[in-house]
Chain A
């Protein structure tokens, strides 16, 4: 490429370029715009992202989708939101100071009729009469309840006669499990739990892994040597036993599981990040930065980390799917979350124990298959979009 004549002088007309360009916070840099363009060219990843975002977005509002409490209640002209607030049965004209069992026909009748005594004796007739408008009681005031599309939460016991697990029907679209809980409600809540667990664990483990790998690769020498040996010992710790033991001592909980998974998951990224940093150490622009007197931390994070990001993103899909699998397999083995938690692993276990109820197995299989495929497709696209050598036609 021939060099143009070297006699550029600043244009005297406008010195616009001297103004500090202000990029609005939501405006991506040109590089990121290019990456986004590359990502959208991969149709599979692009649509997977949208499907996933819709599913995950919906599941974030699981309380509004599948719950055994109404979203909105109009009781004597007063609007109440039982999804958020605790209301005692008394506050609806009942007897007990405990939370109102909204799914009971009597409570429903109390709300619709404005708290009439008669609801305790013949609730069905009273509701029908209220709808028809044939009640002339001085205290009558018509109310209503707004139920979520699925009127069961993940731990609601479905109170209808029949064996458990019961097959899919109009009430329970995917049937119930062996303790008569609605499977669809459990899948929605379980999906959210799995994804949140994975996102939290993956981001924490990645941050720790990247920092650790960066330090090893950047400084090398003794730090690297000692750190590598520690890692070897650490990653050969039987993590399953530690999890079981600690759960037995401290009790099962979501956050303890997050902590333990991160504790044993972070070494996954150290290797690649370390290798990338070792390579980047001798890049000329890193040397140039050093010659400018740039501090080690700035060199690491401004000049070298972007190089390591491609390698990191390559591994990310595996870490994400691996984390989901970890949670599911712990639940499957019975060492995971508390048994009331909406867990896909537990659903799989029930499917195995109740082969006569194939809807459990099918649900578990399709949930996992769709969730993992979407995530893998998305991160494949992300990885390709970040690869500077990959060209898109």
Chain B
């Protein structure tokens, strides 16, 4: 087999604030003709940097050493003109975020046209035919009418298909896919992977596939390179790596899966929170007088209860209203229907009446990078709720912060540092500590693990389970990751476009789903 991309001893370092950080340390691998090679590793392991440095797509602060040969030609020291010829023509890229990879102000046609004009010099009808063929190839139905659409009019999956079409426009020899499915729902993920695999066969491409998800690797890759801290610790054929991992890190990655069962709820556990016929409709207003002409039905008629020590899992695809439901339960969003918290009707409470209750219902958000204020120390972040709810003495506050930090597995000595000095998993622990310090009865967890690496996910799930057992917490656990949901939840509700399509004990729903939608979800996530 001919080698298309040959990376030898590649090192990349970044300079910032006078300090040099080595992101990639002497990496070597090859991609053969028609082969799919997966770069696997946790965040920060240098996989994306490695891929981007092959055609020098990194910023000026990056220093690249070693050698990258594309079809025998050296890329590391090549001039701009040569690189431009290769980029987008011979080597194409697909990025993670379909929302930001497309220009929001250009139509689909215009985005595709740019690249084809540039590299193939087609014009007029031929160009249009080529674009339609491409869109058809990536499975966009009714391509003709989609040409004039803007990115925001497409769904996440469709956008990623357009991105793939752009990448394929010039018939590349090598496709670099940087986490192309991570931001997508599981069902869409499966479709995109299938599409990529088929296209690869059809167009006889090679593929360099970057991901943290081993499930995807097993489905798509011929060979795997496992990266850790900028080095490739193990590489080999996919079957071999999965059956007989040599390096302890690879073994740890393969073993990292949230397992176990939630602690059973005592039969007499009191109901903590309850929602009855909860409805969240956002009015659509039109015209001069802002008449309400319709509603966006974010949540329709949701009814559920959560008891102390119990976890209610809320699952569904993005846009199905999971987060909206949680925010409404916390009274951070307006809604209709009954909300009971510890037996009290709180639907009509004003913000002032809510404030004393806030300490008893807390929320942990998905993104540990966005949910901590970058300008406050960890101690200030965790203690913020304390000064509102009675404890005001600084020394007392610090003692309480130290205690809660130790409890969630953080070193209290680090309490005067800023969030950016912590890793993603540690930050999520800080967010949990902030919620837990007020000793809440109900904790809403809005995808608390989905921004984290697998190994860290496992630790956070264990932590949440321990806290629940210790304090008899009620959890409202929102996730699209069904494995985590199964490991943590007692009951689940499945949502689809605002409707609760299925509800019941977790084992019943997982083992014998009643609706097609749930079955499809299960198949995509677990199959």
Q: A3-B423, A20-B394 are in contact. Are A291 and B362 (CB under 8 A)?
A: yes
> Residues of B within 8 Å of A, CB-based: how many?
61
Please name the 10 residue pairs, one residue from A and one from B, whose CB atoms are nearest each other, closest first.
A293-B358, A6-B409, A3-B425, A1-B423, A284-B371, A292-B385, A1-B44, A8-B411, A284-B370, A293-B355
Determine whether the beta carbon of B463 is less than 8 Å from that of A10. no
Which of B15, B370, B423, B431 has the most chain A CB atoms closer than 10 A to its own CB? B370
**Interface status of A366 (Cβ within 8 A of chain B):** no
Q: Can you offer 22 A-B residue contacts whose CB atoms are under 8 A?
A: A1-B44, A2-B423, A2-B456, A3-B455, A6-B409, A9-B406, A15-B402, A17-B416, A20-B398, A31-B418, A283-B370, A285-B373, A287-B327, A287-B371, A288-B365, A288-B431, A290-B332, A292-B362, A292-B385, A293-B354, A293-B356, A393-B15
Rounded to whole angstroms, the CA-CA distance of A295 and B387 in the bound complex is 11
Task: List chain B positions with a Cβ less than 8 A from chain A.
Answer: 15-18, 42-44, 61, 327, 330, 332, 354-356, 358-359, 361-363, 365-367, 370-376, 384-385, 388-389, 394-395, 398-399, 402, 405-406, 409-413, 415-416, 418, 423-426, 429, 431, 434, 438, 453, 455-456, 459, 463
**Interface status of A18 (Cβ within 8 A of chain B):** yes
Rounded to whole angstroms, the CA-CA distance of A20 and B429 in the bound complex is 22
Main secondary structure of the interface of A (DSSP, over half): loop
**Interface status of A76 (Cβ within 8 A of chain B):** no
User: Which A residue's beta carbon lies closest to that of B452?
Assistant: A3
Determine whether the beta carbon of A18 is less than 8 Å from that of B402. yes
**Interface status of A11 (Cβ within 8 A of chain B):** yes
User: Which A residue's beta carbon lies closest to that of B362?
Assistant: A291
User: Of the candidates A31, A287, A293, A294, which one forms a contact with B365 in the assembled complex, judged by CB atoms under 8 Å apart?
Assistant: A287
Chain A residue numbers with a CB within 8 Å of B355 are: 293
Mask for A1-27, Cβ within 8 A of B = 1, else 0? 111101111110001011111000000
Chain B residue numbers with a CB within 8 Å of A255 are: none
Determine whether the beta carbon of B412 is less than 8 Å from that of A291. no
Determine whether the beta carbon of B406 is less than 8 Å from that of A8. yes
**Interface status of A289 (Cβ within 8 A of chain B):** yes
**Interface status of A162 (Cβ within 8 A of chain B):** no
Q: A3-B455, A3-B456, A292-B385 are in contact. Are A8 and B16 (CB under 8 A)?
A: no
User: Of the candidates A6, A284, A287, A293, which one forms a contact with B463 in the assembled complex, judged by CB atoms under 8 Å apart?
Assistant: A6
8 extra interchain contacts, Cβ-Cβ under 8 A, other than A4-B426, A292-B388, A393-B15? A1-B42, A3-B453, A6-B463, A20-B398, A284-B371, A287-B371, A288-B434, A293-B359
Chain A residue numbers with a CB within 8 Å of B415 are: 17
Q: A6-B459, A284-B371, A303-B373 are in contact. Are A17 and B384 (CB under 8 A)?
A: no
Shortest distance from the beta carbon of A209 to any chain B beta carbon, whole Å: 21
Chain A residue numbers with a CB within 8 Å of B394 are: 20
Shortest distance from the beta carbon of A291 to any chain B beta carbon, whole Å: 5
User: Of the candidates A2, A289, A388, which one forms a contact with B42 in the assembled complex, judged by CB atoms under 8 Å apart?
Assistant: A2
Task: List chain A positions with a Cβ less than 8 A from chain B.
Answer: 1-4, 6-11, 15, 17-21, 30-31, 283-285, 287-295, 302-303, 306, 388, 391-393
Rounded to whole angstroms, the CA-CA distance of A8 and B413 in the bound complex is 10
Shortest distance from the beta carbon of A244 to any chain B beta carbon, whole Å: 40
Q: A288-B431, A288-B434, A391-B16 are in contact. Are A17 and B412 (CB under 8 A)?
A: yes
Rounded to whole angstroms, the CA-CA distance of A368 and B349 in the bound complex is 60
Which of A7, A287, A293, A388 has the most chain B CB atoms closer than 10 A to its own CB? A293
User: Of the candidates A21, A292, A388, which one forms a contact with B384 in the assembled complex, judged by CB atoms under 8 Å apart?
Assistant: A292
Chain A residue numbers with a CB within 8 Å of B405 are: 8
User: Which B residue's beta carbon lies closest to that of A6?
Assistant: B409
User: Which A residue's beta carbon lies closest to that of B381?
Assistant: A285
Shortest distance from the beta carbon of A282 to any chain B beta carbon, whole Å: 10
Determine whether the beta carbon of B459 is less than 8 Å from that of A393. no
User: Which A residue's beta carbon lies closest to that of B425?
Assistant: A3
Rounded to whole angstroms, the CA-CA distance of A63 and B418 in the bound complex is 48
Chain B residue numbers with a CB within 8 Å of A290 are: 332
Chain A residue numbers with a CB within 8 Å of B42 are: 1-2
